[in-house]
Amino acid sequence: MTQNSTISGPKIALYEPDIPQNTAAIIRTCACLGVKLEIIEPCGFLLSDKRFRRVVMDYMNFEQIEFYQSSEKFFEKKQNQRIVLMTTKGSISYTKFKFKSDDTILFGRESAGVPEKVHKLIEDRLKIPMNHNVRSLNIASSVAIVLAESLRQIKLI
C-alpha cells in the first residue's frame, strides 16, 4: 500500500547530521512511513552532495522536512512539546518507554551525538540495548528501529 500524506504521529529530528548517505536513508524511511523529519543545522554536507542524492533518489519531499537554523531555534519551537533523545548514554530501553503520538524523537550526530547542553534540556533519554562489545548502530538503522516501535505503540502501523 502506498501512502502519500504525513500521518499524525511522532516526528524524527536529526541534530546536525554529518553523513549524507545516512540522512538520505532516514529521509527515505520517513517518506515511506509518512513521518515528518526535522533537521537541525548546520549539516556536515550540502543537499547537492552526490552521495546524498544517490541514496535519497526521488524521496526528497520538502513538505515533510522542516529545517531549523540552530538548536536554539529548534528548542524554542518545541517548548511544551515532549522531545525524546536517543543516546548510547541513555538508561532506559526504547522498548520499555511509552511513546506518544506527538513525540519528537531526536538523534544526535553520527560522529559525536549531541552536546551535554542538549542532554540537560531533555528529560527522556533512551537507548537501544546492544552487545557490549560494539560501539553503536548506524543512525539510519537506529531511526528505523525506534520509529517502528513508536508507530507500533501508538497503533499507526
Q: Which domain range does residue 145 map to? A: 11-153
5 in any annotated domain: no
Residue 6 in any domain: the answer is no
Quote the pTM value.
Answer: 0.90
pLDDT surpasses 60 at 4:
no
pLDDT exceeds 60 at position 2: no
Q: Region 17-41: what's the mean pLDDT?
A: 92
Tell me, what's the pLDDT at 40?
Answer: 97
Residue 44 forms part of a structural domain: yes
Q: How many domains does the chain have?
A: 1
Q: Is residue 128 part of a domain?
A: yes
Answer whether residue 3 is part of any domain. no
- Distance between CA atoms of residues 116 and 119, nearest Å: 5
Average confidence (pLDDT) over 28-57: 84
pLDDT at 120 over 50: yes
Residue 75 lies in a domain: yes
Question: In which band, very low, low, confident or very high, does the pLDDT at 44 lie, cut at 50, 70 and 90?
Answer: confident
pLDDT band at 39 (very low <50, low <70, confident <90, very high): very high
Q: Binning pLDDT at 50, 70 and 90, where does residue 54 land? A: confident
Interval 24-46 mean pLDDT: 90
Domain with residue 134: its CATH number is 3.40.1280.10
Arithmetic mean of pLDDT, 135-150 = 94
4 falls within a domain: no
142 found inside a domain: yes
* Residue 59 pLDDT > 70: no
